Amino acid sequence: MTKHTLVAAGAAAIAAIALAVAAPLAASAHVRVDPDQAAPGGYSVLTFRVPTESATAGTVGLEVDFPTATPFTSVSYQPVPGWSATVTTSKLAKPVKISGATVTEAPTKIVWTADPGVQIKPGQFQEFSISAGIVPDTGKIEMPAIQTYSDGSVVKWDQPTPASGEEPEHPAPTLYINDAPPSSSKTAPTVVTSTPAPAASITASDAIALGLGIAGLALAAIALVVAVLGLVRRPRPATTAEHPGAAPQSPTREDGV
């Protein structure tokens, strides 16, 4: 096997490993709301998890729209270092009754903007949390989001997820209230109280599993590179055939005899 063939084989193997790692990461990198279920009539802490999918630009803005037909009565946000947030309250096109009261205005949008020099870099994610309520007594609510990158490009997360559960390319963050999430099939919906289930433990276990998988692939790639370099750099033993004009030399004794 020639040196060129060995190097090409090593590069191809490493590229295949990189693609195998990147594919599942890209498929799961969506702007999501956690938890995705809540009970009607109370308040719930909702967290928008925002990954940066671009390999060349960072996330510098996030805009989330709230429903107006079944609105929240109030929205407050948790401060995020390096980011500012603005909640927009608008007059509703049609007043709605909530807990016996007529509501004519409601929060309709929240915008997070990164401070100068701050961004969610490629390969990173950030979480933005709000306290929202009163959770409307309805099946589900979609909260379309717009993600803005440092190069000026935007990604709209506004496509509804069908009942089959097959996610579109850019699904809108969805909060299920009386409806069951698509992944629950026909089982009864499970609701949560105003205090969400601890997402940290779920995220940590997922991260550990993913980290171990990536580490194993990385070690395999390193071993492959070392093996290729060893074969390429291994010196060839000299033979008399390589120097046809040279006569074999007799060993020289140190005593001069």
Q: 212 and 97, same structural domain?
A: no
Residues 156/144, Cβ–Cβ less than 8 Å: yes
Q: What is the pLDDT of residues 94-109, one digit of tens each?
A: 999 998 899 999 999 9
Q: 57 and 3, same structural domain?
A: no
Query: Does any domain span residue 145?
Result: yes
CATH (domain of 180) = 2.60.40.2230
Q: Which region among 27-36, 48-57, 59-68, 84-93 has the lowest average model confidence (pLDDT)?
A: 27-36
Q: What is the pLDDT of residues 188-246, one digit of tens each?
A: 343 444 433 333 333 444 444 445 455 555 555 565 555 555 655 655 555 444 455 54
- Average pLDDT of the segment spanning 144-169: 94
Q: 114 and 8, same structural domain?
A: no
Query: Does any domain span residue 255?
Result: no
More confident: 247 or 70? 70
Per-residue pLDDT, 167: 87
Q: Which residue shows structure tokens 């099939």?
A: 185
Query: Does any domain span residue 239?
Result: no
pTM of the shown model:
0.64
Q: 225 and 134, same structural domain?
A: no
* Alpha-carbon gap, residue 33 to 173, rounded angstroms: 5
Per-residue pLDDT, 32: 95
Average pLDDT in the chain: 77
Q: 162 and 151, same structural domain?
A: yes
Q: What is the pLDDT of residues 1-50, one digit of tens each?
A: 555 554 444 544 444 444 344 333 444 579 999 999 999 999 999 999 99
Q: 7 and 127, same structural domain?
A: no
Q: 68 and 46, same structural domain?
A: yes
State the residue range of the domain holding 186. 31-197
Per-residue pLDDT, 238: 53
Query: Does any domain span residue 71?
Result: yes
Cα dihedral sign, 149-150-152-153: negative
Q: 143 and 53, same structural domain?
A: yes
Residue 144 in this model has a pLDDT that exceeds 80: yes
Which two three-digit tokens encode residue 222? 């390193």
Q: How many folded domains does the chain comprise?
A: 2
